[in-house]
Amino acid sequence: MSRLPTVVAGRHPAESALSLPRGSESPALSRRQFLGRAALAGGALALPWLVPASALGRDGAVPPSERIVLGGLGVGNRGSDDLRWMLPEPDVQFVAICDAKQSSREKVKRIVDGHYGTTDCKMYRDMREFLAARTDLDALLIATGDRWHASAATLAMRSGKDVYSEKPSCMTIAEGQAVVDTARRYGRVYQTGTQRLSEANFVFCIEMARTGRLGKVHTAYAHIAPWDAAAMRHDWLPAQPQPPKEEVDWDEWLGPCPWRPYNAAYIQGAWRGHYDFHTSCIGEWGAHTFAQAQAGLDLLDTSPVAYEYVNNPTGDGMVTRFANGVKMILSRGDKYWHGSCGMRFDGPEGWVSAADGYQKPEVSSPALLADFTKIVRDYQARTGRPMNHVRNFFDCVKSRRLTVAHPEVMYRTMSTVHAANICMWLGRNLRFDPQLAEFVNDPEANRLRSRAMRAPWII
């Protein structure tokens, strides 16, 4: 957190202006000396009366020395939701936004200034300038499109910032490993935006599976998005006249991706479904649900070792298997839940499932819900984590503990996403070694673990 200059305890700021060196006291002062010292002392004595109580930590406010100074990068539609989630935290002060789009910069500034009742939020277009100039930032919210998440997180952590990154947090297995390595090397706190890991219904299901209340779980089901396909487009949209750089910095927007001609549809969301920019229907929701499923299986430190190709466009029904034989099955639609980003765990003693919009999880027997409150409370007591994903991040920024969705969690579960995608792209079963992070005896699959990055954005 940012620190204010230290004031010596018991000494008033005006004291040094009023006192003379020991042994040099004079019984008489000239009129000019008197007026000069009086003015200096008056200014020092008046200053504290101009500082609002909130700035001193009074009236329940958090003093500036204890506030987390936060900035944002690429805060669009989803990022605006994150921002509104973060702004009410009393120990967080959002001060600056960087975005390649002028309209997005200005939107965030309006939200932030409206929240604080000021005009102080600063705007930046160039990320390199932003990261270099804002040495006061403790943390950064990264909510760009998928293409930028890992690169931006890596550059931000190298510049001394902790990172909250929207999902999916890497475009390739190699990018995920780079995030892990950077966080470890620079001692940074990182949270990926898999917020259902911090929501009571999902935590209950995860704990029911993890602690054996369903017996030994043999199968987990994870939701993949009901739009787009696993195979993505490799063409690009037709060129349109490029707007002024201040309005849209196209080179900055593309970042590490291959150069493509400008088309306004890209910046309005049509980048989805394109190989250059997206992680397919599997990554769209699998970035959430694979983490949820692997948490319940207590397998967040690894990835499945086998991926069974399914002959359909989406990966629906793909069976993945972990080294211990437990299955995680990719599922599209509402076969095992209703709502979005669902998950389910099956064991010999029953099943539990949850998705967005549930009042309570669904269970095979009402008796399984009897200890709902206790199980969630026990989880919180064991981990010290709140049922609030951004609060968990900010708590860890202060404590330097691992977040619930720390870099290794992101890397392992996103490796599952990428391996499932590669299985679909190649149209054959694959075996994967999570420790070596490579496919077994498959050079073609191994070449897809990384992508070329465009200079100067190579990480």
- The confidence band for 23, taking pLDDT boundaries of 50, 70 and 90, is very low
Q: Among 137, 52, 172, 40, which residue's Cα sits nearest to residue 459?
A: 172
User: Which residue is associated with the tokens 């998928």?
Assistant: 146
Angstrom distance (rounded) from CA 35 to CA 33: 6
Let me know: does 388 contact 190? Beta carbons within 8 Å.
no
User: Do β-strands 139-142 and 162-165 pair in parallel, antiparallel, or remain unpaired?
Assistant: parallel
What is the per-residue pLDDT across 338-352, written as a single tens digit (0 to 9) for each?
A: 999 999 999 999 999
Minimum mean pLDDT among 8-17, 96-105, 152-161, 367-376: which range? 8-17
**CA distances from residue 68 to 99, 110, 154, 155 in whole angstroms, order as listed:** 21, 20, 20, 19
- The confidence band for 62, taking pLDDT boundaries of 50, 70 and 90, is confident
22, pLDDT greater than 60: no
Residue 48 in tokens: 């504290």
Minimum mean pLDDT among 44-58, 122-136, 155-169, 387-401: which range? 44-58
| Beta strands in 129-257, from DSSP E residues, in sequence order | 139-142, 162-165, 190-192, 219-223
152, pLDDT greater than 80: yes
- The confidence band for 45, taking pLDDT boundaries of 50, 70 and 90, is very low
15, pLDDT greater than 90: no
Average pLDDT, stretch 214-229? Answer: 97
Average pLDDT, stretch 267-274? Answer: 96
Q: Given this model, what pLDDT does residue 38 score?
A: 40
Let me know: does 344 contact 212? Beta carbons within 8 Å.
no
Q: Given this model, what pLDDT does residue 60 score?
A: 63
Average pLDDT, stretch 207-227? Answer: 98
- The confidence band for 13, taking pLDDT boundaries of 50, 70 and 90, is very low
Question: Phi, psi at residue 100, to the nearest 5°?
Answer: -70, -20
Average pLDDT, stretch 153-165? Answer: 98
Question: Phi, psi at residue 123, to the nearest 5°?
Answer: -120, 140
Number of Cβ within 10 Å of residue 398's Cβ equals 13
Let me know: does 315 contact 291? Beta carbons within 8 Å.
no
Looking at the structure, give the CATH architecture of the domain made up of residues 64-195: 3-Layer(aba) Sandwich (3.40)
Let me know: does 121 contact 97? Beta carbons within 8 Å.
yes
Q: Given this model, what pLDDT does residue 342 score?
A: 98
With b for 16 or more beta-carbon neighbours within 10 A and e for fewer, the 120-134 pattern comes to ebeebbebeebbeeb
DSSP code for 256: T
52, pLDDT greater than 60: no
What is the per-residue pLDDT across 304-339, written as a single tens digit (0 to 9) for each?
A: 999 999 999 999 999 999 999 999 999 999 999 999
% residues pLDDT > 70 (the chain): 87
Indicate the CATH number of 196-230+278-447 among 3.30.1950.10, 3.30.360.10, 3.40.50.1010, 3.30.413.10.
3.30.360.10
2, pLDDT greater than 70: no
Average pLDDT, the chain: 90
Let me know: does 432 contact 419? Beta carbons within 8 Å.
yes
Q: Given this model, what pLDDT does residue 76 score?
A: 86
- The confidence band for 64, taking pLDDT boundaries of 50, 70 and 90, is confident
- Pick the more confident residue, 425 or 45: 425
Q: Is 352 helix (H, G, I), strand (E, B) or coil?
A: strand
User: Which residue is associated with the tokens 């780079």?
Assistant: 178
424, pLDDT greater than 50: yes
With b for 16 or more beta-carbon neighbours within 10 A and e for fewer, the 200-213 pattern comes to bbbbbbbbbbbeeb
Let me know: does 419 contact 305? Beta carbons within 8 Å.
no
Report the predicted TM-score, pTM, of the whole model to 2 decimal places: 0.87
% residues pLDDT > 90 (the chain): 85
Angstrom distance (rounded) from CA 341 to CA 288: 7
Residue by residue, DSSP assigns 30-56 as: -HHHHHHHHHHHHHHHHGGGGS-GGGG
Number of Cβ within 10 Å of residue 294's Cβ equals 26
Question: With 0-12 CB in 10 A as exposed, 13-18 as middle and 19+ as buried, what is 110?
Answer: exposed
DSSP code for 237: P
Q: Which residues are bridge partners to 92 per DSSP?
A: 68
- The confidence band for 91, taking pLDDT boundaries of 50, 70 and 90, is very high
For the chain, the domains span: 64-195, 196-230+278-447
Q: Given this model, what pLDDT does residue 26 score?
A: 37
Average pLDDT, stretch 405-412? Answer: 98
32, pLDDT greater than 90: no
What is the per-residue pLDDT across 274-287, written as a single tens digit (0 to 9) for each?
A: 999 999 999 999 99
What is the per-residue pLDDT across 354-402, written as a single tens digit (0 to 9) for each?
A: 999 999 999 999 999 999 999 999 999 999 999 999 999 999 999 999 9
Residues 6+ apart with CB under 8 A from 205: 292, 296, 343, 344, 345, 352, 353, 354, 361
Question: Phi, psi at residue 98, to the nearest 5°?
Answer: -120, 130
Angle between helix 173-186 and helix 149-158 axes, rounded to 10 deg: 20
Angstrom distance (rounded) from CA 379 to CA 28: 72
Q: Given this model, what pLDDT does residue 58 score?
A: 57
